Each structure stands twice: as structure tokens, then as C-alpha cells.
Amino acid sequence: MPIKVELHSHTSDDPFDVIPYSTRDLIDRAARLGYGALAITLHDKQLDVAPFREYASKRGIVLIPGIERTIQGKHVLLINFANGGANVTSFDQLADLKRHDRGLVIAPHPFYPWPACMGSMMDRHAALVDAVEIHGMYAPGAISTRPQCVGRQTREACCGQRRRPSAVTARDDLFPRRG
């Protein structure tokens, strides 16, 4: 049976984003929407999920450790690494982490036109990226500069087309995210 999973989310515990809902609020919301697992990926801070595990479990949610790490100025989601990846500051260190630890590396909306998105660095570091998050939100004037289908497996599929974010299937039914 498929499990609905959210792997990129922020809460009021985030040290950078101002988020108007708590971790428990997010767990409640995810449970109401039928999610089975949730990674809370604060900016550059690994949330200790232990105090929330029981609360989430009673609502049918598995909490997955995660962080949205800033690596050489780019946002990268590090999911379920035993050591968290909180100390990773370069893509060389990320490669080393992947060699020694099992976890998932996700490029959050890499071709959205924000400086913190990976953009052209995807070409150099595609081998480190396990998955790509498609950005389903629309911001006026913001047009993704390449199809958001580029990952380790589908890199060759990139053809330089432009795509409006509004044309991508929206998946923002938890809470709106801000990056």
C-alpha cells in the first residue's frame, strides 16, 4: 500500500524562516491529510524528533530525521542520515557523507530562480542527488529555468525548456512553504 510522505517541511522551530505553526501543528495537519511519514527539514538545524515521536506515532505518522542544509550557498535536503549531516558545508563533504552513511539527498526545486537553489550546480553534483523536488507553488515573475525533472537517473532528459511553476502539479496541501 502506498504511503503518503512529506520530505520537505519547516515549523516554528526553524532558526531562519518565520513559520506560524509548531511541529505538533504540522503533525496534526499531516495526520488529517493521511500522511504516513514526515521529515521536518529546518534550515541548518537538525530537529531532535525524539520528543515528538510518540505524539506523531499516536497519529499514525513516522517522523524521519532531516535537515535543509546550506552547502556552498545552496539548499540541499539531507534525509535520514545517521549523523544528520548538520556539519556538512561543502559538496566534497556531502560526497564523503554519502560514502559512509545511508540517507537520501534531495535537491529542493533546483531550477527555481532563487540564489539558494542548486541551479547549474546540479550538473556538477548530479551524482550526489538522489531525488529532485518539484516546486508546485507559483510566485509572480518566477519561472523555472529548466525542467524540474533532472536527477541522477533522468539527467539526460533535460532539454533546456522553460516551464511555468503553475503548470506543475501543485502539492502544497500541507502548509505553504517558503523555501
**Footprint of Zn ion (CB under 5 A):** 68
Nearer residue to Zn ion within complex by CB, 6 or 68:
68
Taking the least distance from each CB to Zn ion, the nearer of 52 and 112 is 112
Query: Least CB distance from residue 67 to Zn ion, whole Å?
Result: 10
Nearer to Zn ion, 155 or 173 (CB): 173
Decide whether 2 or 20 has the Cβ nearer to Zn ion.
20
d(CA 90, CA 113): 21
Strands lying side by side in the sheet with 62-64: 5-6, 37-39, 62-64
74-79 and 66-71: which strand pairing? antiparallel
Task: Calculate ∠ Cα 126-129-138, nearest 5°.
Answer: 95
Nearest to 42 by CA among 5, 83, 10, 74: 10
CB of 32 to Zn ion, least distance (A): 22
